[in-house]
Structure 1
Amino acid sequence: MILHKEDCKKDKKANPFIGILLFLISILLLAITGPIGFILAVLKLLFSKGLKGLGTYALQLAISIDQLGNVLMQHLFNSLWIIKGGYLFGNRDETISSALGKNKQLGTLTGFGKAIDKLLDLIDPGHSLDSIDYYIQPTKENG
């Protein structure tokens, strides 16, 4: 089968029951195999690449968890952190900080959103603006 560029943009109709079933299976697999995979990765990286390799792995995990948080908490963040017409949270390929930074640029953060951004700035100055991923294209759901 040859895959064409236009095939990648087709919207797939999702069966809600399949979505729920796959979600439950993914949670079960994570709970069972996640700790084993994590311990194996930590040991392998420590002995093969040292702390630098472990740090890279930890950053990869942090970004993935951040992307999960963007999807998981999209309705909460869209309600509390941005005004109507802002760049919506929820893109599965984007971090929370990237979406926060886009809203900072657009001037669409609420007072609470600005407070979160200032808190992040205390930890890492310019964090949300530096985290913007300009390669993320808005989806129907988020703009």
Structure 2
Amino acid sequence: MDTAHEDSQTQRKANIFTGLLLFLISIILFITTTPIGFIYGFFHRIFTGFLKGLGGYFLEIAVSIDQLGNVIMQHLLNLLWIKKDGYTFGNRDETISSVLGKNQVDGTLSGFGKLIVKILDAIDPNHVLDSIDYNIESKN
């Protein structure tokens, strides 16, 4: 996708009712179709990839959920996990771990943010630094 198209999509202003209606439709579709798609995808990977593709399938889903969390929780995470001058959460194309990594490099994590990084890095060493996506800039 070209940058001009991404910028127009990000800056697109939606009527509150249109935004709310599209949000509700997306929630209904997500709740009703995701289980079917997940089950189909799970068995598709098993039968076509002999389990080797299953880890990648789960990782793709995890990254997508992480990106969703970055958007939904942006205001709370900006308040709790970074200092005022930090690289902000909220870009729909970026994971929470990538934002944490950028703030770790910049020294703009709050005390709570540093604790979250320690927990993630205990589970997966250097997780937030390895998760940094340098091709994504702040949405601000």
Could you tell me the TM-score, scaled by structure 2's length?
A: 0.92
Could you tell me the TM-score, scaled by structure 1's length?
A: 0.90
- Describe the shift of the 1:7–1:40 C-alpha distance in structure 2 as closer, same or farther (beyond 3 A): closer
SS at match of 1:78: helix
- Offset at 1:9? 3.2
- Offset at 1:28? 0.3
1:50 to 2:54 alignment? no
SS at match of 2:51: helix
SS at match of 1:51: coil
How far apart, CA to CA, are the structure 1 residues paired with 2:54 and 2:75?
Answer: 33
How far apart, CA to CA, are the structure 2 residues paired with 1:39 and 1:72?
Answer: 25
Specify the structure having the higher radius of gyration (Cα): 1
Structure 1: gaps spanning 5 or more residues: none
**Structure 1 vs Structure 2 CA RMSD:** 1.4
The answer (yes or no) to whether the contact 2:81–2:110 under 8 Å persists in 1 is: yes
The answer (yes or no) to whether the contact 2:90–2:139 under 8 Å persists in 1 is: no
Instruction: Tell me which residue corresponds to 1:64.
Output: 64
Aligned length: 137
Percent of residue pairs bearing the same amino acid type: 61
Structure 2: gaps spanning 5 or more residues: none
Instruction: Tell me which residue corresponds to 2:114.
Output: 114
Instruction: Tell me which residue corresponds to 1:74.
Output: 74
Runs of 4+ in 1 over 6 A off after TM superposition: none
